[in-house]
Amino acid sequence: MSPNRTHRNDGEYLVIVLDPRIPDTADFLLRELRAWRGYATVEEIDDDHCALIVRPGLANRIVVPGLTNREDKVQ
């Protein structure tokens, strides 16, 4: 997105363009960043838009053993 950033070319990425002027966008962005636990980044596109970039191929690594119960479900 940004010429000042270096992105890896391997794997798939999900890009969600957000407009922070829309109500609840900031809350959505913070929820998604917490949910992806370090497998997502945010980049500024212009003064009115940003992009949430998610690496969904790494989702299977998100679940930390301490956060799962005996049925292997996230608590």
Task: State residue 11's pLDDT score.
Answer: 72
User: Could you tell me the residue ranges of all domains in the chain?
Assistant: 14-67
| Rounded CA separation 52/42 (Å) | 5
Which two three-digit tokens encode residue 1? 């997105």
Task: State residue 58's pLDDT score.
Answer: 58
Share in percent of the chain as helix, strand, coil (round to 5): 30, 25, 45
Ranges of the chain with pLDDT below 50? 65, 67-68, 72, 74-75
SS3 43: strand
Task: State residue 13's pLDDT score.
Answer: 87
